[in-house]
């Protein structure tokens, strides 16, 4: 079974990324919902914990109550998130979100180490620095991650 993982689409970060990023992420969320693909949201709350500074972007479509908080880059740092994946019997994780060279990268590499098949939807992933992101992207591909520019139908 597959799921869509939405990473850190939060108000405080969106100014650093291209203007159409949330639209691209929302298109994947809509596709997942229409095709009965579960959607899980990951929200960074910083080292001190959740605050209003870390709210989801206002335009982000929320179609699921599966929201997991993290204090460090990898979503797998939250044991409840990993437990939920096991409960859902997930084998493939489709990834959208930010930042491609940090939180997305760390989450994806942990997923691969744990045996998950991972697909990056490059139209809905962004990084503050494309120069550095290209290195992480090559590392993810070398680890077996599928990277596609295919937008949802």
* pLDDT at position 4 over 70: yes
Q: Helix 130-142 crosses helix 103-113 at what angle (to 10 degrees)? A: 10
Q: Under DSSP, is residue 61 helix (H, G, I), strand (E, B) or coil?
A: coil
Confidence of residue 48 (pLDDT cuts 50, 70, 90): confident
Specify the pTM: 0.95
**Domains in the chain, ordered, with CATH?**
2-148 (3.40.50.850)
Side-by-side strand order, sheet with 2-7: 67-70, 39-44, 2-7, 92-98, 117-126, 146-148
* pLDDT at position 126 over 90: yes
Confidence of residue 153 (pLDDT cuts 50, 70, 90): low
């Amino acid at each position: 079974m597959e799921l869509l993982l939405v990473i850190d689409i939060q108000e405080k970060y969106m100014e650093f990324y291209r203007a159409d990023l949330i639209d691209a992420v929302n298109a994947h969320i809509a596709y997942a919902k229409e095709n009965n693909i579960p959607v899980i949201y990951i929200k960074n709350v910083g080292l001190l914990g959740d605050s209003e500074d870390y709210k989801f972007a206002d335009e982000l479509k929320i179609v699921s109550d599966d929201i997991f908080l993290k204090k460090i880059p990898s979503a797998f740092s939250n044991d409840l998130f990993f437990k939920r994946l096991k409960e859902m019997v997930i084998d493939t994780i489709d990834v959208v979100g930010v930042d491609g060279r940090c939180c997305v990268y760390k989450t994806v590499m942990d997923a691969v180490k744990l045996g998950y098949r991972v697909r990056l939807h490059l139209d809905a992933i962004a990084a503050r620095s494309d120069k550095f992101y290209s290195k992480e992207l090559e590392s993810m591909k070398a680890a077996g991650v599928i990277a596609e520019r295919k937008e949802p139908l």
